[in-house]
C-alpha cells in the first residue's frame, strides 16, 4: 500500500466574515464577530435571535458566479460549498480543467438540507391531513431549495461536474464531524495512492425556521437576548448554547510530488487523522470526554508527532455547557504529561457553528496558523469557567511558532474527528 505525503495547496471559504480567504483570516485574527441579528421573516418572534449569516451582498455575489445553479438549485448550503471549492481550486492553481483528472476527487461533508414548511402546508387537506396523491401530481411546485430537490450529495456532485473531477466522489453526513471526516477520507485516499488531488471540506446552512426549531427542542442553541456579537462564548461561565452559522470551507489536498511537479505553493502538510464514537448518548458527549480523548490520541499516533510538539488546538468549542467541559477534560488527558498545555481557540466564537460544515473553515484557520505562526482568539471569554482552565487565547491574536496543530470536530451522537496539520518540510529536493 502506498504511503505518500499529503500537502495542502488551496483553501476556499464562504462565511459570515466574507467570501475571500485573506478577508476571513484577517477578521478572525482581529477577533471580529460574524454574528448578528437573524435576517428572516418573523425572526422577531423566534426564541433564537442571532446567527452568523453570510451577508445578502455576498449571497448575491455567489448567485452571480453560478447563475445556472442558483436558478435551478437555489439551495444555500450547496452554493456556499460550490463557491468555496472554486476558490480553493483557484488558490491551488487548478481551477481550469486539465486534460486528465481521472485521479482528482471531491469529498464533502454536508447537512441534510432544508425542510420547508411550505412543502407540508401546501398539500394539507381541510382536515389537516397530507394529500400524498395531490403532492405527487404537483411535485413541480416543491420549493427549489427544499430537501426534496436537494439531497446531501448535491454539493459533491456539482463540484465534480463543474470542475471535471472524475475520481473518487463521496458525501459524508455525520452531524458536526462531517467536514473533518471528509477531510480525513480525502487525506487517506491521497496517502494510499487512490487519488492525486481531492477537494475536501464541507458546507451547511440551517438558519431557517425548521432548522432553528430543531436546535431549540434539543436545548443546545443560545436563546439569550444578549447582544448578538457577544452571544457565542466558548469556555465562558456565562455560555448558554451554540450560535448557528452558515457557509463552507474547502481545501485542496494533494500528493506532494504532484504538487511540486507543477510548482504549487504548499501551505502545510496533513500528517494524521482519526475518528471515534462515544457510543454514549445521542445529544450529549461522554462527560469525561473519553471519545474525544481517544480521537486526539489516535490522530497523534497516526501522525507520529508526540504531544509535546503540538503548538495549537483549534477546538470544537461550541459554547455549550457539556461540550466545552468534555473537550477541556479530553485535552488535559491527552496532553497532561507535557510541560504545558498547548493554546486552544474556538473559531465558532467568531463564525458561529456551521454544523456539518464547521470543520471546513476551522481546518483552513488551522492550516493558516501553522503556515503563518498566528493564532486567532476565542472572543467573548470574559468570565472564565473555573472548570475550563486551559489557555484559550482570550486576550487577542497571538504570534507563536506553530510546528503542528490539531483541528477537532465532535458531533451530535458522539461522532468525533481530529486532523493533524504540521509545517511542510520538503525532503525530496
Domain at 199, CATH number:
3.40.47.10
Residue 38 resides in a domain: yes
Cα(396)–Cα(373) distance, integer angstroms: 14
Residue 19 resides in a domain: yes
Q: Which of 233, 204, 192, 183 shows the shortest CA–CA distance to 366? A: 183
Q: Give alpha helix (H) positions in 285-375.
A: 290-303, 321-335, 348-351, 359-372
Query: CA torsion angle for 216, 218, 221, 222 (degrees, to 10)?
Result: 70
- Residue 214 pLDDT > 90, yes or no? no
Residue 1 resides in a domain: no
**Averaged pLDDT score across all residues of the chain:** 92
Q: Give alpha helix (H) positions in 30-75.
A: 56-65, 67-72
Q: Which residues have C-beta within 8 Å of that of residue 375, sequence separation ≥ 6?
A: 312, 343, 345, 369, 393, 397, 398, 399, 400, 402
- The residue-averaged pLDDT of 352-368 equals 97
Which three-class secondary structure state does DSSP give residue 372? helix
From the CB of residue 141, how many other CB atoms can be counted at a distance below 10 Å? 12
Query: CA torsion angle for 231, 79, 316, 337 (degrees, to 10)?
Result: -140
> Which among 232, 286, 316, 376 is annotated as catalytic?
316
Query: How many structural domains are present in the chain?
Result: 1
Digit-coded pLDDT (tens) for 240-254: 999 999 999 999 999
Q: Which of 232, 163, 159, 243 shows the shortest CA–CA distance to 201? A: 159
pLDDT at 297: 98
Domain span holding position 232: 8-124+132-422
What is the share, in percent, of the chain residues with pLDDT greater than 70?
98
- Indicate the DSSP class of residue 347: T
- Residue 428 pLDDT > 60, yes or no? no
What is the share, in percent, of the chain residues with pLDDT greater than 90?
73
- Indicate the DSSP class of residue 397: -
Q: Which residues have C-beta within 8 Å of that of residue 206, sequence separation ≥ 6?
A: 111, 114, 212, 214, 215, 244, 246, 355
376 carries an active-site annotation:
no
Residue 2 resides in a domain: no
Residue 219 resides in a domain: yes
- Residue 104 pLDDT > 50, yes or no? yes
> Buried b vs exposed e over 94-119: b needs ≥16 C-beta within 10 Å?
beeeeeebebbbbbbbbbbbbbbeeb
Of 127-131, 214-218, 355-359, 417-421, the one with minimum mean pLDDT is 214-218
Which three-class secondary structure state does DSSP give residue 24? helix
Q: Which residues have C-beta within 8 Å of that of residue 102, sequence separation ≥ 6?
A: 166, 167
Residue 428 resides in a domain: no
Cα(268)–Cα(245) distance, integer angstroms: 27
353 carries an active-site annotation:
yes
388 carries an active-site annotation:
no
- The residue-averaged pLDDT of 99-123 equals 87
User: Secondary structure of 213-239 in the HEC alphabet?
Assistant: HHHHHHCCECCCCCCHHHHCCCCECCC
pLDDT at 43: 60
Burial class (CB in 10 A: 0-12, 13-18, 19+), 140: exposed
> Which among 232, 286, 295, 353 is annotated as catalytic?
353
> Which among 176, 232, 295, 388 is annotated as catalytic?
176
Strand pairing category for 404-411 and 415-422: antiparallel
Burial class (CB in 10 A: 0-12, 13-18, 19+), 266: middle
Residue 427 resides in a domain: no
Digit-coded pLDDT (tens) for 55-81: 999 999 999 999 999 998 889 999 999
pLDDT at 189: 98
398 alpha-carbon distance from chain centroid: 22
- The residue-averaged pLDDT of 361-390 equals 97
Residue 158 resides in a domain: yes
Which three-class secondary structure state does DSSP give residue 197? strand
- Residue 429 pLDDT > 80, yes or no? no
- Residue 24 pLDDT > 80, yes or no? yes
356, 377 in Cβ contact below 8 A?
Answer: no
pLDDT at 141: 85
- Residue 46 pLDDT > 60, yes or no? yes
Digit-coded pLDDT (tens) for 321-330: 999 999 999 9
Which three-class secondary structure state does DSSP give residue 106? strand
Amino acid at each position: 500500500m502506498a504511503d505518500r505525503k499529503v500537502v495542502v495547496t488551496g483553501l476556499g471559504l464562504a462565511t459570515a466574515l466574507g467570501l475571500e480567504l485573506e478577508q476571513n483570516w484577517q477578521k478572525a485574527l482581529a477577533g471580529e464577530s460574524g454574528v448578528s441579528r437573524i435576517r428572516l421573516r418573523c425572526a422577531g418572534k423566534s426564541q433564537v435571535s442571532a446567527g452568523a449569516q453570510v451577508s445578502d451582498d455576498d449571497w448575491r455575489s455567489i448567485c452571480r458566479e453560478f447563475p445556472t445553479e442558483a436558478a435551478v438549485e437555489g439551495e444555500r448550503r450547496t452554493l456556499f460549498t460550490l463557491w468555496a471549492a472554486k476558490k480553493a481550486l483557484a488558490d491551488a492553481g487548478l481551477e481550469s480543467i486539465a486534460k486528465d483528472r481521472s485521479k482528482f476527487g471531491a469529498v464533502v461533508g454536508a447537512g441534510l438540507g432544508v425542510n420547508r414548511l411550505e412543502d407540508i402546508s401546501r398539500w394539507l387537506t381541510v382536515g389537516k391531513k397530507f394529500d400524498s396523491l395531490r403532492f405527487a401530481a404537483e411535485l413541480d411546485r416543491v420549493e427549489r431549495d427544499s430537501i426534496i430537490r436537494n439531497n446531501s450529495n448535491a454539493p459533491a456532485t456539482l463540484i465534480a461536474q463543474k470542475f471535471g473531477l472524475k475520481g473518487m466522489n463521496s458525501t459524508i453526513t455525520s452531524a458536526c464531524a462531517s467536514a473533518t471526516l471528509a477531510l480525513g477520507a480525502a487525506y487517506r485516499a491521497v496517502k494510499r495512492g487512490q487519488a492525486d488531488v481531492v477537494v475536501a471540506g464541507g458546507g451547511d446552512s440551517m438558519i431557517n425556521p425548521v432548522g432553528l426549531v430543531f436546535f431549540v427542542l434539543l436545548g443546545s442553541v443560545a436563546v439569550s437576548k444578549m447582544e448578538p456579537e457577544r452571544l457565542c462564548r466558548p469556555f465562558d461561565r456565562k455560555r448558554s448554547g451554540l450560535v448557528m452559522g452558515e457557509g463552507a470551507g474547502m481545501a485542496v489536498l494533494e500528493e506532494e510530488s504532484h504538487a511540486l511537479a507543477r510548482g504549487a505553493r504548499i501551505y502545510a502538510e496533513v500528517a494524521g487523522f482519526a475518528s471515534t464514537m462515544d457510543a454514549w448518548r445521542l445529544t450529549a458527549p461522554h462527560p469525561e470526554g473519553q471519545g474525544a480523548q481517544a480521537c486526539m490520541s489516535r490522530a497523534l499516533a497516526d501522525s507520529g508527532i508526540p504531544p509535546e510538539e503540538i503548538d495549537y488546538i483549534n477546538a470544537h468549542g461550541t459554547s455549550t455547557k457539556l461540550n466545552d467541559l468534555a473537550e477541556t477534560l479530553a485535552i488535559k488527558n491527552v496532553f497532561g504529561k507535557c510541560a504545558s498545555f498547548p493554546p486552544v481557540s474556538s473559531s465558532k466564537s467568531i463564525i458561529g457553528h456551521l454544523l456539518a460544515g464547521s470543520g471546513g473553515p476551522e481546518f483552513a484557520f488551522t492550516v493558516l496558523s501553522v503556515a503563518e505562526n498566528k493564532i486567532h482568539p476565542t472572543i467573548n471569554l470574559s468570565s472564565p469557567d473555573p472548570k475550563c482552565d486551559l489557555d484559550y487565547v482570550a486576550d487577542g491574536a497571538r504570534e507563536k511558532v506553530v510546528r503542528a496543530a490539531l483541528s477537532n470536530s465532535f458531533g451530535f451522537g458522539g461522532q468525533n474527528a481530529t486532523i493533524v496539520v504540521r509545517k511542510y518540510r520538503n525532503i525530496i529536493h
